[in-house]
């Protein structure tokens, strides 16, 4: 019986290592996702600044086109001045030309201000892009480390699972079936009793008679509270003298 329990204890030791690796591995994808989200936020900030610059450039382009069209219109009107037959028509057209020229001056001033705004926005975009590049390098390095740790953990799990398969072969079939049924619900699946009669898995007391029986028989039983496989420590390790 001691060999059966010892084989199961060895198997559980491997299972505990596998569980630890898996728990560790579970944190890495979440951390990577958080870093990717952070990097995405920085990238969005750059895109926002680039969008502002694009808007300014579109405004400048539209304004330049409007100014060109208005200047052409003024030239045509000026050419028509000499064609006017009455003073009234001449004055009306001259007034329109004057209004158009003042409008062109105003648009030219607006174009200058847009040019200044464009320059400022280019600097803002440059700063945001530099920040993005620095953060991308920093976060990329962190993500690389996490991916390496994840790969290492996954490789560790794979290696331990192979080790588990070998360890499982040494366990009694019936005991293994019972152990696996408990393992699916809670770990550790087997736990020694502690004096006077406590299951170390759930910290609940078992009937004193059960404890005494296991001490004498050096076998195993089921904890009434948590359904773990329980045994007296002496069943695996001889009592110290």
Residues 35-91 pLDDT 10s: 999 999 999 999 999 999 999 999 999 999 999 999 999 999 998 888 888 889 889
Residue 74 lies in a domain: yes
Q: Do 144 and 26 lie in a common domain? A: yes
User: Does 11 reside within a domain?
Assistant: no
Domain holding 32: CATH number?
A: 1.10.287.1490
DSSP string, 123-160: HHHHHHHHHHHHHHHHHHHHHHHHHHHHHHHHHHHHHH
pLDDT at 24: 82
Q: Could you tell me if 84 and 181 lie in one domain?
A: no
Q: How many domains does one find in the chain? A: 2
Q: Could you tell me the residue range of the domain that residue 189 belongs to? A: 173-235
Instruction: Report if residue 6 sits inside a domain.
Output: no
Single out the residue in 167, 199, 224 at which a domain terminates.
167
Mean predicted confidence (pLDDT) in 12-21:
91
Residue 193 phi, psi (nearest 5): -85, 150
Q: What is the pLDDT of residues 144-203, one digit of tens each?
A: 999 999 998 888 888 899 899 999 999 999 999 999 999 999 999 999 999 889 999 999
Same-domain check for residues 159 and 178? no
pLDDT for position 240 = 45
Q: Are 5 and 236 in contact (CB under 8 A)?
A: yes
pLDDT at 238: 60
Domain boundary among 120, 144, 167: 167
Judgement on whether residues 67 and 181 belong to the same structural domain of the protein: no
Same domain, 25 and 131: yes
Residue 59 has a pLDDT of: 96
- The percentage of residues in the chain with a pLDDT greater than 90, rounded to a whole number, is 81
Residues 228 and 143 in one domain: no
138 and 177 assigned to the same domain: no
Q: Is residue 160 part of a domain?
A: yes
d(CA 9, CA 229): 11
Q: According to the model, what pLDDT value does residue 241 have?
A: 41
């Amino acid at each position: 019986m001691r060999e059966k329990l010892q084989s199961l204890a060895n198997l559980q030791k491997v299972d505990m290592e596998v569980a630890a690796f898996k728990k560790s591995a579970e944190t890495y994808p979440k951390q990577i996702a958080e870093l990717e989200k952070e990097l995405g936020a920085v990238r969005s900030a750059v895109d926002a600044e680039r969008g502002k610059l694009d808007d300014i450039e579109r405004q400048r382009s539209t304004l330049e086109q409007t100014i060109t069209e208005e200047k052409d219109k003024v030239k045509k009107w000026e050419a028509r001045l000499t064609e006017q037959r009455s003073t009234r028509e001449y004055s009306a057209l001259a007034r329109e030309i004057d209004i158009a020229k003042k409008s062109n001056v105003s648009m030219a001033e607006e174009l200058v201000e847009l040019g200044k705004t464009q320059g400022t926005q280019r600097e803002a975009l440059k700063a945001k892009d530099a920040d993005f590049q620095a953060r991308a390098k920093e976060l990329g390095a962190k993500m690389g480390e996490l991916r390496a740790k994840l790969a290492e953990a996954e490789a560790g799990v794979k290696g331990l699972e192979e080790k588990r398969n070998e360890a499982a072969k040494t366990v009694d079939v019936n005991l293994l079936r019972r152990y696996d049924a408990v393992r699916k619900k809670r770990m550790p699946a087997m736990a020694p009793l502690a004096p006077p009669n406590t299951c170390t898995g759930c910290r609940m007391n078992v009937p004193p008679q059960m404890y005494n029986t296991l001490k004498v028989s050096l076998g195993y039983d089921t904890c009434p509270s948590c359904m773990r496989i329980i045994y007296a420590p002496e069943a695996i390790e001889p009592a110290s003298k």
